[in-house]
Structure 1
Amino acid sequence: MSKTNYGQFLRNTNLILPKQPNHDEFLMVMENVFRCSCLIGVLGAKKWICYVWSAFILIVLLVMESQAIWKVIKALAGWAIDTAGQRSVTARLAGTIFYTIAIISLILASKLFRSWGELSALWVRVERVMAVKVPSDGTLKRRMYFIIGFMTVCSLLEHLLSIVSAIGLDCPSYLIIKRYILISHGFMILRHEYSDWYAIPLAFMSTIATMLWNFQDQLIVLISMGLTSRYSRLNQCLAKICALEKKQMDSDQKTEATKVYTWRKLREAYVKQAMLVRKVDDAIGGIIILSCFCNFYFICLQLFLGITQSQSSEPLRTVYYFTSLGWLCFRVIIVVLAASDINVHSQIALNHIYTHDTLYYNIEMGRLQDQLSKDYVALSGKGFFYLSKSILLQMAGAVITYELVLIQFDDKGTDDVQLNLTKNGVGVD
């Protein structure tokens, strides 16, 4: 190896100017994800049936939302007939927020799909113009499908538990729908207004809204995994080149020129990758803000109910409160850690550069070091905050602060059902 020409080695191994593949597994998985999202109303395919179904779901959600807002106004103005229990102001507000989240999530996810063609084209273009050969990620596709299945199943199980906790284990079969709707959607429908023709669509839309909420978190996690994978592959390529230079003993002028060229191509690859992250960040920034807001709100809500209502609630409902809280916290952790990995992997290359022998230092390596150390790459909520590991501690501190305030001002007359709604079909599913 000591006598091997450095440039010849690079050509033989195709580290420089390689032939890049014409397909990308990440984009293939995302295409399947958007196609399946049509089932919950997201405009994930350019077919007329998808447009019709998406418009129908959106219109129904808007009708439900307008009715929920009207119920809140009536309660605040003192016009409501019944403001106790599941029809209290708190319950009505929780239901309104839940369906607001579903509507905004549907709109933002559909908007992301409409811009996904341009993003995916940029994704492929960046991959192809990279003048370095990065190793493939053989596990990315499998990990993405695991996350999709895991989050979907857990969300549905949590929704099912909310239904069981609302109706109880002793509910006759012919009363299941009626009891569930009157408890979970009591803020929208009074007992004398109940009808099966009205209740069944409500139960269906509650499940759709739950899946829309889960889908926005899935999008953040999956896209973060794709961006992290690209950084990881670039870092592996850089590590190989560093290891190669340590073994290369021939340092004639021709070899030195090849080394400078190699590091310039590496630096350009990192520049293109950072540009891609920022383009994606612009596209999903709204989804990140919505995800963080609604998860934070319902974590506070479920924790408050679990603490204040556990003494008076049925054991099954108490189990639901804390199970729902646990799933919410776990989901937030998954989202934040997946997104923060982008920032972590964008800095890993610095470790290889710092430990590289100064004997092989060149100007392009110095430029790459300066670029990586000064350029902060991470997903954000439209620039208002960045998804890094530290935000978990900030959110935890904020939750504790708000919980203490809520407990201090807790009205002992608050009914223990008031926000099971939040979840039972109108909340944290």
Structure 2
Amino acid sequence: MYSKEFRKLLRPNNLLLPKQPNHDDFLYVIRKVFHLSSLFGVYGSKSYMNLLWSAVVLGSLLIIEVMAIWKVIKALAGLARDISGNRSVTARLSGTIFYSISILSLILSSKLCYSWRKLSQVWAKVERSVGVNIPADKTLKRRMVCVAGTMMFFSLLEHVLSIASSIGVDCPVPLMLKRYVLVSHGFIFMGQDYSEWFALPLVIISTIASLLWNFQDQLIVLISMGLTSRYHRLNQCLAKICLLEKKQMQSDKRVEAVKVYTWRKLREAYVKQASLVRSMDSALGGIIIFSCSCNFYFICLQLFLVITQGPSSNILTGIYYVVSLLWLCVRVGSVVLAASDVNVHSRIALKYLYSYETHGYNVEVDRLQDQLTKDYIALSGMGFFYLNKTILLQMAGAIITYELVLIQFDDQGNDGLQVNITK
């Protein structure tokens, strides 16, 4: 006969009609993250102040971008007064790309934030209609807060190091602001163009641009953690059912109907979870492909600077190049590994189904196994590529290839490439 524990699990009140949670930790944390993101210009609420501040940030970034593009055109046309050092064509181009990334990141993040109201309703609906009593993830909120705080801290640390490397150790305090603006934004301004009226706003906007660039990666990681947590909870529920049924050696026809109904609701829960992943993938697709492209470019640039210029630079610049490169690699690794966990956890249930006892096998178990085997679940870059663990090796190979090409065609040595990518 079935054990008392298994009978208790199969009771409708314990498994099939779960008590609905009053709130979802994932939705709570993401809502707080979007609320804080309004401080650096991400628009997502109906507040007029948020809309005004977002417009100011976007307008400021567009002005800097237009000036940077104009300077690149002048440098390519041979009309620039100075194309050496941090005013070289390469430095001007990297500055232009950095601010274009910030603009697109602001637009894509605002679009996701604005549409999150509907996406959160989809998420909550799936949570409420799951049909089985899956265990709660009590550590998700703490892990998400730690990840968000850590990524924000290291983003600011990298930006502070970029400021320190621009200023140097020999700069008098009254001239720190001027030196930072002329060095970090030398692709736009020359000494005679400097004015204190735009120096401080430029520092603020450059800091916001750095935060926006990092924020897109943070969104991918946090949403991936939420999706992975839901798969982990479903897998725990399935594993518990398989373990309890494995202990039963006899069949009881009185509970067979409940067992089939239980497996049907569990299979439907996986179907709803797959639908939720696809909804999130549709919303995140543009951010994913944009994030991977930008990080790939700047990893190549920073690695090139470390190889060609790091040893000959001053100590602060060398430290900045190394820390920036390491942080970029950590960010890319975090994004890929967090997103690939969704794919990994979507297939973990198969190992329990493959070892499932034959005496408890039914049509719903067979359907669930077939569904998990044939349905490929993963976050992607608008369908062009999927974020799984193999893509890390592909990116590493591509980076090495492009670095060899850059070094081979670097006719002018280090070409005065002293440019901080986090302005």
Which range, TM-score by smaller chain?
over 0.9
Inter-partner Cα distance in structure 2 for 1:422 and 1:219 = 21
Deviation at 1:354, TM superposition (A): 0.6
Q: Which residue is 2:100 aligned to? A: 100
Are 1:307 and 2:307 counterparts? yes
Q: How many residues align?
A: 423
Separation (CA, whole Å) in 1 of partners of 2:377 and 2:49: 39
Match for 2:312: what amino acid?
A: S
TM-aligned CA distance change 1:5 to 1:15, over 3 Å = same
Gapped regions of structure 2 (runs ≥ 5): none
CA contact (8 A) 1:6 1:255 kept: no
For 1:109 and 1:212, the matched residues in 2 are separated by: 8
CA separation in 2, counterparts of 1:18 and 1:96? 54
Alignment of 1:308-347 (within 5 A): 308-347=308-347
Give, in whole Å, the separation in 1 of the partners of 2:327 and 2:282.
28
For the residue of structure 2 that corresponds to 1:14, the secondary structure is helix
Give the SS at the match of 1:422.
coil
- The separation in 1 between residues aligned to 2:399 and 2:88, in whole angstroms, is 23
Aligned to 1:288: 288
**2:212 counterpart residue number:** 212
User: Could you tell me which residue of structure 2 aligns to residue 68 of structure 1?
Assistant: 68
Cα 1:195–1:270 shift into 2, 3 Å: same
SS at match of 1:15: helix
Deviation at 1:323, TM superposition (A): 1.2
Q: 1:210 to 1:5 in 2, by over 3 A?
A: closer
Aligned-residue sequence identity (percent) comes to: 65
- For 1:170-185, list aligned pairs within 5 A: 170-185=170-185
Q: State the AA in 1 paired with 2:421.
A: T
> What code does the residue aligned with 2:70 have?
W
Paired position in structure 1 for 2:167: 167
Q: Which amino acid aligns with 2:281?
A: D
Q: Is residue 2:237 matched to residue 1:237?
A: yes
Query: Within 2, Cα distance between the matches of 1:210 and 1:397?
Result: 27
What CA distance in whole angstroms lies between the structure 1 residues aligned with 2:5 and 2:221? Answer: 43
Alignment partner of 1:421 is 2:420: yes
How far apart, in 1, do the equivalents of 2:305 and 2:4 lie? Answer: 70
Corresponding letter in the other structure for 2:289: I
8 Å CA contact retained: 2:182, 2:191? yes
Residues 34, 45 of structure 1: 8 Å contact kept: no
Q: Which residue does the alignment assign to 1:252?
A: 252
- Please say if residues 277 and 377 of structure 1, whose CA atoms lie closer than 8 Å, have aligned partners that are also in contact: yes
Partner of 1:187: 187
Mapped contact 1:71–1:92 kept (Cα < 8 A):
yes
Q: For the residues of structure 1 that align with 2:118 and 2:375, how far apart are their CA atoms?
A: 25
Instruction: Report deviation, 1:333.
Output: 0.7
Matched, 1:274 2:270: no
| Structure 1 runs not aligned, ≥5 long | none
**One-letter code aligned to 1:22:** N
Match of 1:125 in 2: 125
Partner secondary structure for residue 80 of structure 2: coil
CA displacement 1:59-115 (0-9 Å, x = unmatched): 111111111111111111111111111111101110000000100000001100111
Letter in 1 for 2:58: L
User: Is the CA contact (8 Å cut-off) linking 1:4 and 1:248 kept in structure 2?
Assistant: no
**Equivalent in the alignment of 1:409:** 409
Kept in 1: contact 2:340–2:378 (CA 8 A)? yes
CA distance in 2, matches of 1:254, 1:6: 14
Equivalent position of 2:87 in the other structure: 87
Q: Distance in 2 between matches of 1:165 and 1:122?
A: 46
Distance in 2 of aligned mates of 1:107 and 1:324: 25
Supply the AA of the counterpart residue of 2:152: T
Q: Give me the whole-angstrom Cα distance separating, in 2, the residues matched to 1:297 and 1:379.
A: 21
Q: Distance in 2 between matches of 1:366 and 1:241?
A: 15
Would you say the 8 A contact 2:2–2:252 is kept in 1? no
CA distance in 1, matches of 2:418, 2:393: 26
Structure 1 position 250, deviation (Å): 4.7
Q: Report the residue type matching 2:400 in the other structure.
A: I
Paired with 1:42 and 1:375, the residues of 2 have a C-alpha distance of 35
Match of 1:37 in 2: 37
The C-alpha deviation readout for 1:116-146, integer Å capped at 9, x for no partner, is: 0111001010011111011000000000100
Instruction: Provide the TM-score with structure 1 as the length reference.
Output: 0.96
- Distance in 2 (CA, whole Å) between partners of 1:80 and 1:219 is 40
Q: 1 CA distance for matches of 2:272 and 2:36?
A: 30
Cα distance in 1 for residues equivalent to 2:279 and 2:138? 25
Q: Deviations over 1:314-333 (max 9, x none)?
A: 12211211111011101111
- Paired with 1:136 and 1:8, the residues of 2 have a C-alpha distance of 19
In the aligned structure 1, how far is the partner of 2:63 from the partner of 2:412? 34
1:223 aligns with 2:223: yes
Q: What's the CA shift string for 1:243-277, capped at 9, x where partnerless? A: 12123345233322221111111110000000000
Q: Cα deviations across residues 201-234 of structure 1 (Å, max 9, x unaligned)?
A: 1111110000001111110000000000000000
RMSD value over aligned CA atoms?
Answer: 1.5
Q: Does the 8 Å contact 1:5/1:250 carry over to 2? A: no
Q: Distance in 2 between matches of 1:111 and 1:250?
A: 56
The residue aligned with 2:154 is: 154
**1:6, 1:258 within 8 Å by CA — same for their partners in 2?**
no
SS of the residue corresponding to residue 421 of structure 1 reads coil
| Partners of 1:81 and 1:421 in 2: CA distance | 21
Letter matched to residue 96 of structure 1: T
TM-score (norm 2): 0.97
Secondary structure of the residue that 2:101 maps to in structure 1? helix
Equivalent residue number for residue 358 of structure 2: 358
1:349 aligns to what? 349
Query: Matched residues in 1 for 2:40 and 2:9: separation?
Result: 52
1:14 CA drift (Å): 1.0
Distance 1:79 1:268, change over 3 A: same
Q: Report deviation, 1:2.
A: 3.2
Deviates more, 1:14-23 or 1:88-97: 14-23
Give yes or no for contact 2:181–2:203 (8 Å, CA) kept in 1: yes
Letter in 2 for 1:388: N
